[in-house]
Amino acid sequence: MTPTTAHRLPPRSRGGRDNGGGAVARLLPDDPGTGPGLGDHLARHGDLPSDLESNRWRESLTGEIERSGLFGRGGAAFPTVRKLRAVISQPGLAVVIANGTEGEPASQKDRALLARAPHLALDGAALAAKLVDANEAIVVVHRDVRGAVDRAVDERRRARLDKTRLRVVTAADRFVAGEASAVVNWVAQRRPLPLAKRTRLAECGFGGRPTLVQNVETLANLALIARHGATWFRTQGTSEEPGTMLITVLGAVERPGVFEIEIGKPVADILAEAGELTSPPQALLVGGYFGQWLPGEPSLPLPFSARGLGIGLGAGLVFALPTGSCGVAETAHLTRFLASESAGQCGPCVFGLPAIAEQLENLASGHVTRMEDLKRWLVEIEGRGACSHPDGVARLVKSALKVFARELVEHQRGWCTGADQQPILPTVHGATL
């Protein structure tokens, strides 16, 4: 790349539609006239199974969940049945926490679900409580949808729909606050900090009790499986990754927003849910701020699945980096945000992440940087944090070093091929798309 094709760096100073291939929305109402109230919810989905007390019912539903292949939609993609059975196997009264924290500023899929279909998530929370023998389900939600969830819980109380107590808590505005143990810590002590990795919530979580923490979208799917069964659930998605999922699409698209998609559809079709591309994407960030960068055009025909892309889908963020934007600057921006959002409980977060962010900022502004140091630090922080926060940052940065390798060479020389270094991805909690 010559200076004539680049510019010198300055000194440093919505969803619920038919999804293209016959996939029908399940989680979000596809009729604009369908409201979030209990009446509309029951008209759309019907009642839950009535026999919720017997051991036979518990065994039957647990088996259906296993056959469905449902995995967590909160980021880690852990098999749902394994989390359930881990809590069921423990003695004592359990507790369920429905996690709608959504601490990542760019993701809005949990907020969309709780605003448009709160009762489906609450159905799942109540069902999960019955499965693990809990007398309480605590629903932790983003402040933007607290009112909608409160109204839904009040409707259910007036209708005497649940024997399980449903309690709503406003989530903390921190990136790390969405991590499962941090949610427990927040509800118990108002400290949104992850607990030590060795802590097993299934054995000793909230109040020292066996605790199930599940994302609200996962619980909504559980409520659908209870109604329709595993075979129905597997009619969409792939054999390895069945079902639909909610994703947040933004970047080089006409209509950024939240959409329900069938897992396994081509990436190009997924982006088309948000309208036409406004420019050819030079790269895609998939899975969120702990996700990975992928090359833009080569990724478009690939199946949108963990197996198809070779990476985790995380919390369902898909960001199309527009032509003309700088992927190095975008990554530096995200890394600085993630460094500032750490729990500050261990050396990798206190010292490692700020150092990595500074090196990336130097690269973004065209300063000569020892790439060997940066790569060594990424290796050194992996697996050594008190929680998984450093691992997520390392995953993001490593993918950027690969996808933007040619651009990094230009930055080392003091040039940037992008026309705009202004970052696009939000780092303010509660930002709108």
How large is the average pLDDT for residues 93-119? 96
Predicted confidence (pLDDT) per residue in 79-99, tens digit: 999 999 999 999 999 999 999
Supply φ then ψ for residue 281, to 5 degrees. Answer: -75, 125
Predicted confidence (pLDDT) per residue in 321-358, tens digit: 999 999 999 999 999 999 999 999 999 999 999 999 99
Kindly indicate the confidence band of residue 430, based on its pLDDT and cuts at 50, 70 and 90: low
**Residue-range domains of the chain with CATH:** 1-16+238-433 (3.10.20.600), 38-233 (3.40.50.11540)
Residue 32 pLDDT: 73
pTM: 0.93
Predicted confidence (pLDDT) per residue in 44-67, tens digit: 999 988 776 677 888 999 999 999
SS3 of the chain: the string is: CCHHHCEECCCCCCCCCCCCCCCCCCCCCCCCCCCCCHHHHHHHHCCCCCCCCCHHHHHHHHHHHHHHCCECCCCCCCEHHHHHHHHHCCCCCEEEEEEECCCCCCCCHHHHHHHHCHHHHHHHHHHHHHHHCEEEEEEEECHHHHHHHHHHHHHHHHCCCCCCEEEEEECCCCCHHHCHHHHHHHHHHCCCCCCCCCCCCCCCCHHHCCEEEEEHHHHHHHHHHHHHHHHHHCCCECCCCECEEEEEEEECECCCEEEEEECCCEHHHHHHCCCCECCCCCEEEECCCCCEEEEHHHHCCCECCHHHHCCCCCCCEEEEECCCECHHHHHHHHHHHHHHCCCCCCHHHHHHHHHHHHHHHHHHCCCCCCHHHHHHHHHHHCCCCCCCHHHHHHHHHHHHHHHCHHHHHHHHCCEECCCECCCCCCCCCCCCC
Residue 24 pLDDT: 66
Contacts of 115 (CB under 8 A, 6+ apart): 36, 144, 145, 148
Residue 8 pLDDT: 54
| pLDDT-wise least confident of 24-28, 105-109, 252-256 | 24-28
For CA atoms 65, 70, 73, 74, give the dihedral sign.
Answer: positive
